[in-house]
Structure 1
Amino acid sequence: MLLAVDVGNTNVVFAVLEGRDIRTRWRITTDPRRTGDEYAVWLLQLMAIEGIERAAVTGMIVSSVVPRTRHNLEVLAGKYFGVTAVFAGERGWGIEIDVEEPATLGADRAVNAIAAHEKYGDDLIVVDFGTATTFDVVDFNGAYKGGIIAPGINLSLDALVNNTAKLPRIAIEAPTGNASVIGRNTEDQMHIGVYWGYVAMMEGLIARIRAEIGRPAKVVATGGMAILFDEHTEIFDHVDADLTLEGLAILAERMEMS
């Protein structure tokens, strides 16, 4: 089995895979100070609950945008699983990264490009809802061509609340029924601004990207908020919550890790 680890700025997702099939997954808050031993106490207990033996893990692959977590994940891999953690991109991507500074591309975005091209083909726009919301363009040959980085919706809401004296903290929710876009109270106005403002931003940017590509492009959405927005926009062709984990599995397969 393969242990795939997706380290984001907000959360770390661990998943156990058999081939490309995700058997189970767990999520923990990202904390660069968390030691390999602390990861192990948490992870091994969860594996035991699922009936997964430690010895069943024969490889570990990591996509990380938080460099400070590296050493502790290496300790986890070596000390508790007897394997060497492979960090995505260190042995190449197997796709063309056609941008001005390829080394600065986040591992999660490259991994998403690999998975999206493998699964859906054609020209693609991959939208990933994380701490930041990213828009990545992948051409029909599988080459990564560039993209957009925008503040994530939670980050935007935090900035709004933290920098205004009287606005309350609200939950991000999809509107119900035929909700008006003219709010009649402060909380409704905030919900409208955050939710529909984000939908308008996505639809506008995707329209501009498609116009620049000049060919039809499928839109693949991933990340925790994708389903929330899919309810009220027709912009997504596919919603794939496990795109990053599947990309790690594909990359590991190509490196004959599993």
Structure 2
Amino acid sequence: MIRFRFELYPLDEVSPWGRDQPRLHWFGLTEGWFWLEAGGHQLLRRTRLDHRHPYVDYYLARLWEDVIVLLPDVLEPVPPDLQPFIASDPATWACDPLAFVPGGDEDAIEGDVDPDAPDHPVVTAANWHGEHYLDFGYLRNAPYLRFWRTVGDDRDEITVDWRHEDDGEIGFAAGPAVRFRVQTAAYLKAVHTLDRDLMTAMRQRVEELERGGGPPGVDLDLPGLRREHEDRARRLALNLNRSPNTNWDAVRQGARRLLSDARRPSPNRSGP
């Protein structure tokens, strides 16, 4: 079982954006708490937080956007020969992918870089590896959470890989490292459920504002809010139709280079 869970702030507790002219918009109206229940764990449950909702406190729109944008990459099966690479820690790679980025040198001349030139295979492989991370860059001391799909031998599973280093201030109940698998169908259902539940909650919120208006002194474009909601309600279907178009030859070539001497000790923390 896997499920993205959330609870929105009560409408009268949502914080308007801006000082001189406070305003509310769709993104800001999704202020709330969220977490992930899977494999017997509550990922994103905070420690040292005395609150009835000890979870990540941020805008649900951001989690929702990142989950559905990530979905095509998560659903693309990882070939068997690339399983060791997708499961690897970048801290153990034999070289730094940034060394293969054109113009990365401080002395490089801007005109020397061809924007249409294909990436080096090492860069392609590193980017493909990184495209399986759910982005939490908006959090302090953020965790790393990756998903990838394995198909074969009557298996169709999503690996969930969690990493986090407690800095003494921000910690999570899941601990430093957790890895488990869930059925692909269960993961896809969890994404659809997140989308359905958030769209339902936000439709009700928009309707409530249309009936009663916004808080005094807060700018609120109700027709624009309705249009944005209807647009966002179509996002999941659009992303499901997107194909990653992975260059497997380049990924394989780059992965071989990155894993060619992966013998450095891995620190506790890893990242994209």
TM over 0.5: no
Q: Using CA pairs under 8 Å that are at least 6 residues apart, name the structure with larger relative contact order, 1 or 2.
A: 2
**The TM-score by the shorter chain falls in which range?**
under 0.3
> Which has the higher Rg, Structure 1 or Structure 2?
2
Higher strand share: 1
TM-score, with length taken from structure 2: 0.26
TM-score, with length taken from structure 1: 0.27
